Amino acid sequence: MPQPLNPRRQRLKLLALIAIFAAPMLVAWGMVEWRVGIPDQRTAHGELTPEVPPLGQWPLTDPSQALPEGDWILAFDCSRACDALADQWWRLHRALGREAPRVSRLRVGGDAAALPGEMVAQWAERPNWLSPGRLWVLDPRGEPVLAYADRVEARDVLDDVNQLLRMNPQR
């Protein structure tokens, strides 16, 4: 003959089951509310620049119609130390490995000949959002995603570009 069910024991089991499911939610709420246990690491080394317009609105003398459709774009201002910048971003492009065909480079400014795989354009007028030596990562629609100062480490840009390409698989 089965034992009669103890109502107190059954309530205790129910409360334990509710606690198992509610505890993670309470802990997560506490972490967010009091900023405890949330990592301070940055996920991107670049900065967001909402004031930078899409590539189609940049004041360029040679509009970049030659850029392949659907590619991510590394656009950089080459108004000073152009040879060093062009070489640095060319090396970064090569470091992308098998993902390199998904990325195009656009050099804006400078008098040197284009490096392999590089498109060259000139500023028709200097925009107010421009700072010399700046690098922008543009999505396949031409929208600026991240911007980098002129003294950025190429390794940081490579990390960010690899992350973007990984998070946005090729169709």
In a domain, 16, yes or no: no
| pLDDT per residue as tens digits for the range 47-84 | 888 899 998 899 988 765 567 788 999 999 988 888 88
In a domain, 157, yes or no: yes
Report the number of distinct structural domains present in the chain: 1
In a domain, 44, yes or no: no
> How many Å apart are CA 76 and CA 109, to the nearest integer?
9
In a domain, 15, yes or no: no
Domain assignment of residue 151, given as a range:
55-167
pLDDT computed for residue 1 by the predictor:
61
Q: Which residues are CB-neighbours of 163 under 8 A, at least 6 positions away?
A: 43, 44
pLDDT computed for residue 68 by the predictor:
77
11 has a pLDDT exceeding 70: yes
pLDDT tier at 46, thresholds 50, 70, 90? confident
pLDDT computed for residue 5 by the predictor:
77
59 close to 124: Cβ distance less than 8 angstroms? yes
Class of residue 78 by CB neighbours under 10 A (exposed 0-12, middle 13-18, buried 19+): buried
Q: Which CATH number do you get for residue 145?
A: 3.40.30.10
In a domain, 144, yes or no: yes
Rounded to two decimals, what is the model's pTM?
Answer: 0.73
In a domain, 42, yes or no: no
> How many Å apart are CA 121 and CA 28, to the nearest integer?
50
> How many Å apart are CA 49 and CA 44, to the nearest integer?
13
End-to-end CA distance of the chain: 65
2 has a pLDDT exceeding 80: no
In a domain, 32, yes or no: no
In a domain, 31, yes or no: no
